[in-house]
Amino acid sequence: MVIVRKWGEDHINKSLKQINLDTWLIDGLVLHRSPYLSDAATWNDDVDNSSYTLTEATTSTPSATAPLDSPYIKLVHDVGDASAVWSIGNKALCKVRYIEEGVTPESVTLNFVRDQQPSFETPRVLHHAFGKDRSYLFLERVPGQTLDAAWPSLNEYWRRHYVKAVADICREMAEWKGLKFGGVDGQNIPEAYLLKSSAPEDFSSANLQAACEAMGMDCTDFVFNHADLGPTNIIVEDEPNSGKVGIIDFEIAGYFPRSWIRTKFRISSGMDLSPLADDNPHWWRSEVQRALGANGFDDVVKAWEEWQRG
């Protein structure tokens, strides 16, 4: 299904609308902040002893006429007309995206990952709602900052530590086996690097597996992989201490051929450091793919390049 972008007042970065200073309208949902903790709330914010509750909008819900102007809700990420993320208080995020038909919802993947009791932190799903053309995912924030933001202040020891940590996480996730290519619920994964640049958008598992087979990947076994482990999707401590890592944004994650894990690091500029973080933005993914090679992961970069040209 082709996604139809909206503009003007219906632009995705205007998905949250304000009713009053403590109440907001989000499509068919009403979000209300209370200045106290509550067992009945959708989530509590113990930083300022407040709580947030989501309910369904009704015919008696007041109109959202005020512009979004709140100390509690801030737009923190805006990807053109495709998606937007708001911080809510001190503990939560709201991710709004256009719905991609047939694609595994991120909430399903996150719940699966948390059920594996991984060694790394992931966001906890608070609520996931689906409107006519958009999804609204409420998540508990992983404490810390992105690796990209932390990078300029990290010394060589910590940079190497995080390279090894992420390579080890890739190996840990690859122990989670799947019976077939695709999301953890059997739906599709929106992995654009498995489409030829000139091809129409078809994220069906059969189409993407055919691409993997054309590159000579072993498609008799499938392992879990987060295929977008760039520095903005890795959360580290504000001040390095324990060295623990959090992983976010599981939109392009599921069961892939094992060879794709290292290959993706080698070919995806989207997993680079930002130019402001380092003069050599390729260093991060270059070192991670090298560590993956030392851990026994192969790649099919040459075959991928030939396949793209074919």
Task: Domain ranges for the chain, please list them.
Answer: 8-140, 145-309
Query: Nearest CA to 3 among 136, 189, 134?
Result: 134
- The CATH number corresponding to 145-309 among 3.30.310, 1.10.10, 3.90.1200, 2.40.30 equals 3.90.1200
- Exposed / middle / buried, residue 87 (Cβ in 10 Å: 0-12, 13-18, 19+): middle
**What percentage of the chain reaches a pLDDT higher than 70?**
97
pLDDT band at 79 (very low <50, low <70, confident <90, very high): confident
- Residue given tokens 């990290």 in the structure block: 154
- Asked if 205 and 182 count as a contact pair (C-beta separation under 8 A), the reply is yes
CA 303, 175, 100, 52 torsion: positive or negative? negative
- Residue given tokens 């948390």 in the structure block: 114
Give per-residue pLDDT as tens, 247-277. Answer: 999 999 999 999 999 999 999 999 999 999 9
**Fold agreement between 8-140 and 145-309:** no
CA distance 91 to 43: 9
Give per-residue pLDDT as tens, 13-72. Answer: 888 999 999 999 999 999 999 999 999 999 999 999 999 999 999 989 998 877 789 999
- Asked if 103 and 203 count as a contact pair (C-beta separation under 8 A), the reply is yes
Largest CA distance in the chain: 61
CA distance 209 to 217: 9
**pLDDT for residue 9:** 56
Classify strands 124-130 and 50-56 as parallel, antiparallel or unpaired: unpaired
pLDDT at 1 over 90: no
Token output for 293: 């090679």
Query: Nearest CA to 194 among 141, 268, 128, 130?
Result: 268
Task: List, in sequence order, every residue forming a beta bridge with 44; answer none if it has no partner.
Answer: 51
Token output for 272: 């680079």
pLDDT band at 78 (very low <50, low <70, confident <90, very high): confident
Give per-residue pLDDT as tens, 224-250. Answer: 999 999 999 999 999 999 999 999 999
Token output for 66: 């005020």
**pLDDT for residue 307:** 97
CA distance 217 to 118: 27
CA distance 127 to 117: 20
Rounded average pLDDT over 1-21:
71
Give per-residue pLDDT as tens, 217-226. Answer: 999 999 999 9
CA R_g for the chain: 20
- Residue given tokens 């944004």 in the structure block: 249
Give the other-Cβ count within 10 Å of 92's Cβ: 23
**pLDDT for residue 145:** 98
- Asked if 88 and 94 count as a contact pair (C-beta separation under 8 A), the reply is yes
Query: Nearest CA to 52 among 37, 74, 71, 70?
Result: 37
**pLDDT for residue 135:** 96
Rounded average pLDDT over 184-203:
96
Higher pLDDT, 83 or 3: 83
**pLDDT for residue 310:** 85
Give the up-direction half-sphere exposure of residue 40: CA atoms within 13 A in the CB hemisphere: 5
**pLDDT for residue 82:** 81
CA distance 279 to 12: 33
Give per-residue pLDDT as tens, 107-155. Answer: 999 999 999 999 999 999 999 999 989 999 999 999 999 999 999 999 9
Average pLDDT, the chain: 94
Give domain 8-140's CATH architecture. Answer: 2-Layer Sandwich (3.30)
- Asked if 95 and 79 count as a contact pair (C-beta separation under 8 A), the reply is no
